[in-house]
Structure formats: structure tokens, C-alpha cells
Amino acid sequence: MKTNPTPLFDYRKFWAECFGPAPWLPMSREEMTKLGWDSCDIIIVSGDGYVDHPSFGMAVIGRVLEAQGFRVGMIAQPDWQSAEPFRALGRPNLFFGVTAGNMDSMINHYTADRKKRNDDAYTPGNVAGQRPDRAVTVYSQRLREAYKTVPIIIGGIEASLRRIAHYDYWSDRVRRSVLLDSRADLLLFGNAERAIVEVAHRLAAGEPVGALSDIRGTAYVTTSLPSDRILIDSTSVDRPGAVDAHPNPYDGMEPEPCSDAQTAASESEPVRLLASPKADTHAIRLPSAEAVTEDPVLYAHASRVFHKETNPHNALPLVQAHGDRDVWLNAPPIPLETEELDWVFELPYQRLPHPAYGNAAVPAMEMIQHSVNIMRGCFGGCTFCSITEHEGRIIQSRSEDSILREVERIRDTSPAFTGVISDLGGPTANMWRLACKDKETEAACRKLSCVYPGICKNLNTDHTPLIELYRKARETEGVKKVLIASGLRYDLAVESPEYVRELVTHHVGGYLKIAPEHTESGPLSKMMKPGIGSYDRFAEMFERYSKEAGKKQYLIPYFIAAHPGTTDEDMVSLALWLKQHRFRADQVQTFYPSPMATATAMYHTGFNPLQRVRRHSEKLGTVKRLSQRRLHKAFLRYHDPDNWPLLRKALKQMGRRDLIGNGAKHLIPARQPPKRHRIVEPKARTFRTQHSGEHKGKGRRR
């Protein structure tokens, strides 16, 4: 596999380049005819409505392939009841690309309580039910019915997070890799520009899809493993319990130091730091799908090893048996360089929904229409979040010039632009241009987070370039205001008081979202989030700089209920903290176990994969019973009278009658008032907080 990949813009373009870029990727035969096409080279099938905007994954992949000279068609939200809608554009010359869309289809359809949602922000008109459950699998199966021999390439977040055997929250069981259920030829995981471009050019050159087994960021099913690879049993890398002895492939190799606190070999560390054993010749065999289904210890162990093998510079390929077949995962893709990321985001996007939708609004597009994505990736490592599994820990940053050009393009081309840029951000607001100070250390590191349990001494935390970007963006002619809507990593922000001052003075629209998630060390340690002291420090700076600017501005802190490792007592403490700070959560959500997340492994197995998992390891408290999940949610809304009967009963059972009464020290009143006489506490600040745990558009807001 290539460690120095071909830049995206250096490929020789396919012959169909002569047609030039299409105003819109065609969704009908009529559009194809107007473009002069007799066929499509590639057809993308998506669970989202087609919005030609760089925050929508299928638009990015479509425009990237178009820029390589291919004719790309789009089938958006087809009726999956038969194969006929999948024949709408005819047979593609090369392959079908299949994605569920910007969201996992199950998270798109169901709440954390497994209730059906009534809307879909990625569908014109906000209409629910326009895609099937497990869309990648259903679409792929229908395509097999329509065109049996056309290669099917699956990707996007739904496929990416289901590339090996995984716990599925909605069926409450371990499901096998989506590759087998979908019967796809190839799975692309993570940001897929590099992989999809190589796949397209090699198929166009006449290679069969079965020969594409050496591309980074891909997975496939095989009955014959590569003969040039030495397989290492995963239990020799991280022994889960009483197993047969294996030679340790890391013997004699010293770990690369990331910080003083990380060099000690301690089982209390989030993950051990290991040097890679010959990444070009070895591969790790994970426990089989059958084994992780039957044994929670092996599931937790496999999750731990999987997450340690995610650094593209040292990760080994992984292989997992599914019956008599193997799912082979190549190493993750090499991150895009700044010039490549600029190229991707400056392709000719319309930044609007396809005209076929008429006046039907797509809520997700309206939210980000005038925002600018400035980076990818996140090194925060929050265990409940899917960004790291999908985009990786290495930050990929656009250039300042490219970002400012996009601001000007929005100003000059959007009829709806009022002078306000709604966001300059990404998965996290303030990781642009932040990276490890030493490339060799970065290439050897296997830490899950650069900021937990503390900020690594090798991490560059200089926010000066971001400050300059903000200033130049708001000084752009025609721009009245630049807001920062992406979630802020406040433990990084406080390292740069000047950044906090700049942000608070000029870029907050009255409210700023941040995510302490909890106040107690138990759940925070399972989330890999900083202690509440970091929040307090940031809150003090926020208040001070808001006052200096003469503005009344408010923090919107996000909290999460029922996360693995959270006790009822932890939720009591959080509720008391909320009352002490006069916060009222208007909307809250309980922990949502998304596929492949570390916290999901905790939820399913009861073990903590942040430490070495052994058969005698202490079980982790998990909140699974619906009644307890509702209780934890009720503590976040302690002020709601509808929750008081449930909370009174729980507090009595916990021996905390001292919190029931009508005094200032009490959490809830002793008596239930009639609905017409509900108690309203004065001067309480109300805020809304939502958690999806899923990549949405530019990423989960954190």
C-alpha cells in the first residue's frame, strides 16, 4: 500500500473530461440527454436528498469523480420496494457507489429510546421515511437485482462504522460486517476521496474489482488472504485473558513518548503506546465474528485493538473471520494535504438542493448553507463520538486563502446571503492547524486522544492563525458578521486567552455551545472528557470578556445522560450542579450507542476497553433498562414538574430525602402542584441541548 499517494489532482483525467462539469449531477435521463451523455460512468445512490454542497458527502464524492473526468449520475432516495427505480439512469460503465447519506440510517430514523422520528433534516420537506432502515444493505441488494454484474462500492458513515462485526443497538445484538449483508464488492471507510479516485481510475483501466485489494481505506471479503502478510493474533498484542502464550511482536521496541504522563506503563492509561511492527508486512487477526458475538470479553478486546490501529502512519491491516470467509481491512487512508483539501472544497458546487425539489426546503442545508468547513478530523477522542472512527485524529486543514475565497463566493453567489457567515468550523471549532509538533512522534503514536487525560506536551495549541483567520473573514467586504457555531473544545481554548477574547467579542451570536457532558469524574473518565474545572475556567473567561465587550451572552452547556460508567448518584450530583448554576435543560437526550464507538463497546459488554480487558476485570456500570435511562434523563430536567414523581421515588430509594423539599438546598419540592400552579424558579437560564453521537453534515457538534 502506498505511503506517498498520488495527489488527487495529479491523475490523468478520464476521456469523458471533454464534456466538462455538469451544472448539477444528473438525476434523470432527461438531464443526461441535455448534457450529451449516452451513459454514466459512475452512479451514486444516496439516502439523502441531493444537495450540491461540500458539507454533503455524496456531493463531494460526485464532484471529485467528475473532476477526474468521469460522468457521474445521482440516484437520491430511491423507492426501495423494487429494483426498477435503481435503473433510472441505466447501467453505469464502471460501478455504483452506495451511501446511506450524511447520517447512519438507523440514527436518522430512531431516537435514543428506539422511537421513530417524525422528520428527516436531509430530506426535501423534512419528510421522514424516505430511506429504508440499514439503507446501505437494502440499496445494494436492490442494485444486485437490477444489474447483477456491475461492481458495487459502499461507503459513507453507515458503511464505515460497520466494517467489522459490531454491536447493533436497534436489534440489541452483534451483527456481522455490512460487507456480507450488502454483498458489495468493496467498502470504503473514512474520508474516501483518495480511495474512490484510485478505484475509479483502475476500473476504467480495465482491472477487475476483485483485483483492488491493495488500496488504503478499503475493506473486502475474501477466502484467500494475502500470501505476503504475516498474521499476528490480536491476543498477542493485547491479551484479553487466559489464552495460549504468543510471542509479543512489540518486544524490544520502545514506545514513542507523547507526554511525561503517557510514558509510564500503567493499566490505568487510556491506551498503551506501542511502536508498529512492520506495517508493510504484518496484519492483525481479530477474534472472529462468531467469537465476539458469544464472548463480551473478546468483543471489548477486539474494540480496543481496532481503535489502536487507526493511525494511518503505523496502523496494521486487520482481518476478521466470518464463518469460512474473512473480512480484510487495509490500513486507513493517508490524510489529505492542504492543497488537496482546498481542491476538494473549491470544486463547482451549486450550494443548493437539486432544482427537481422545487421549493421544498432541506433543513440540513439551510443550517449550513452559509457556513464554511475549514478542517477535518478530531484528536479529542471522545468515546461516544463517531468522528474519530470516520475522519481520524489527524487534523486536515484548508489554507487561509481557500477559506476566504469560499466566504467571497458565498457573498457573490447566494441570493439568500444577508452578510452573516453562520460558521467557520468543522467537527470542532478550534482545531484548525493544530497538530503534533513532531511528525515522527505523530507517526508512531497510538494514543486515542491528544487532550486526555491532559493536553499532550507535543501538541501545538497555538490559536494565533485561527485568530487571524477570524479577523480576515469578518473584514471581508460585504460580510457583516462571522459566527462560530461548531462546538468549541474549551480545554484547548483556555490555553489561548487571546483566542477566547476574540471569539467572545466578535463571533458569538448571543449563545455559545460547549460540551462538558458531565460534572463527575466517573462518567467523564469513560467519555475521555476533561474535568468540570476546565469548564469553570472557560466560563469565567467567557463572562469576563463578554462584560468587557459590553454584551450579554450565554453559554449553552451540553450534558449527556445514561453514558456507560454513570451512576444514579452521578446524575444527582449533576442535577445539583445544574440547579446551583441556575441552568435548565429544555431538550436532552440519553447516550446513543452508535456502531463501533468505544462507549458502545462499554455499553454492550460491561467492560472498559480503555484499559486492558481481562476475564477478571471489574465490570463497568451501564444504563440499559428503559426505566433507568428515563430516570437519568429526568435528573437533567429536574425543574420539570412532570419528572418530580419519578425523582421523588428515586431519591427516597437512594436515601436522599434531604433533597426533597421547598428550600433553596432542595432539588425538587415535596408536593406535586396542580398543573395550573406550576412553580417557576426566577432568573433560571434555559438552554437546549441535543446529542446524536453521529456525524451530521460537518460533524457532531462538540
Tens digits of residue pLDDT in 523-537? 999 999 999 999 999
| Nearest Cα to Cα of residue 541 among 484, 501, 514 | 501
Judge whether residue 686 has pLDDT over 90. Answer: no
8 A C-beta contact, residue 332 and residue 318: no
Mean per-residue pLDDT over the chain, rounded: 90
pLDDT digits (tens, 9 = 90+) for 77-97: 999 999 999 999 999 999 999
- Taking a C-beta distance cutoff of 8 angstroms, is the pair 687, 582 a contact? no
Count the Cβ atoms, other than its own, within 10 Å of residue 452. Answer: 23
Give the integer Cα–Cα distance in Å for 280 and 331: 10
**Does pLDDT of 653 surpass 80?**
yes
The answer to whether residue 265 scores a pLDDT higher than 50 is: no
Model confidence at 66: pLDDT above 80: yes
Cβ burial of 128 (10 Å; 0-12, 13-18, 19+) is middle
Cell 460486517 found at: 177
pLDDT at residue 260 tops 60: no
What is the number of other CB atoms lying within 10 angstroms of the CB of residue 415? 5
Band of the pLDDT at 675, cuts 50, 70, 90? confident
Distances (CA, A) of 303 to 110, 166, 448, 607, 608: 24, 9, 12, 11, 10
Write out 430-496 in H/E/C secondary structure.
CCCCCCECCHHHHHHCCCCCCCCCCCCCCECCCCHHHHHHHHHHHCCCCCCEECCCCCECHHHHCCC
Q: Are 189 and 130 in contact (CB under 8 A)?
A: no
The continuous run of DSSP H or E covering 594 comes out as none
Closest among 308, 304, 330, 332 to 319, alpha carbons compared? 330
C-alpha to C-alpha distance for 419 and 496, rounded to whole angstroms:
28
My answer on whether omega of the bond before 363 falls inside 30° of 0, hence cis, is no
Across residues 565-572, what is the average pLDDT? 98
More confident residue, 43 or 487: 43
Give the C-alpha separation, 505 to 501, whole Å.
6
Distance CA 241, CA 616 (A): 8
Alpha carbons 104 and 89: distance in angstroms, whole number: 25
Hey, what amino acid is at 93? Answer: N
Of the chain, the percentage scoring pLDDT greater than 90 comes to: 83
pLDDT average, residue stretch 666-695: 61
DSSP, res 51: B
**Residues 6+ away with beta carbon under 8 Å from 356:** 27, 28
Query: 442 — alpha (psi -120 to 50), left (phi > 0) or beta?
Result: alpha
Task: Tell me the three state secondary structure of residue 677.
Answer: helix
Q: What predicted TM-score, i.e. pTM, was given to this entire model?
A: 0.91
Rounded CA-CA distance 335/338 in Å is 9
Taking only the tens place, the pLDDT of each residue in 618-644 is 899 999 999 999 999 999 999 999 999
Q: Which three cell numbers stand for residue 688?
A: 437546549
pLDDT in tens, 376-398: 999 999 999 988 888 999 999 99
Q: What are phi and psi of 623, to 5 degrees?
A: -110, 100
Residue 181 has pLDDT above 60, yes or no: yes
Nearest CA to 164 out of 155, 156, 172, 174 is that of 174
DSSP assignment of 611-653, as one string? S---TTSPPPP---SHHHHHHHHHHHTTT-GGGHHHHHHHHHH
pLDDT at residue number 60: 98
Between CA 385 and CA 699 the distance in angstroms is 10
Please say whether the beta carbons of 161 and 104 come within 8 A.
yes
Q: For position 618, what pLDDT does the model report?
A: 83
* 556: enclosing H helix or E strand: strand 554-559
Per-residue confidence at 493, pLDDT binned at 50, 70, 90? very high
Cell of 514: 460547549
Contact 121, 363 (CB under 8 A): yes
How many whole angstroms separate alpha carbon 255 and alpha carbon 266? 13
* DSSP helix/strand/coil, 595: coil
Residue with cell 436489534: 171
Residue 252: pLDDT above 70?
no
Q: What is the mean pLDDT of residues 180-204?
A: 97
Better pLDDT: 260 or 357: 357
- Measure the CA–CA gap between 109 and 128, rounded to whole angstroms: 8
**To which residue does cell 468505544 refer?**
598
Q: Cite the beta strand spans of 82-130 per DSSP E.
A: 95-99
Residue 685 has a pLDDT of: 53
Residue 246 has pLDDT above 60, yes or no: no
Q: Is 573 left (phi over 0), alpha (psi -120 to 50) or beta?
A: alpha
Q: Span 259-273, mean pLDDT? A: 37
Confidence at residue 610, expressed as pLDDT on a 0 to 100 scale: 94
User: Could you give the CA distance from residue 335 to residue 342 in angstroms, rounded to a whole number?
Assistant: 13
* Residue 665 CB coordination number (10 Å): 9
- 280, pLDDT greater than 90: no
Beta bridge partners of 556: 513
Model confidence at 351: pLDDT above 70: yes
Residue 629 grid cell:
435511562
- Is the pLDDT at 687 greater than 60? The verdict is no
Cα 20 to Cα 13: distance, rounded to the nearest angstrom: 11
The gap from C-alpha 73 to its chain's centroid, in whole angstroms, comes to 26
Q: Which amino acid is at 101?
A: G
Q: pLDDT value at position 267? A: 37
What is the predicted pLDDT for the residue at 678?
54
Report, as an integer, the average pLDDT of 336-357: 97
Separation between Cα atoms, residue 350 and residue 74, nearest integer Å: 15
3 state DSSP class of 157: helix
Which residue, 51, 164, 169, 44, is CA-closest to 104? 169
DSSP secondary structure of 355-399: GGGTT---HHHHHHTTEEE-EE------TT-SHHHHH-SS-EE--
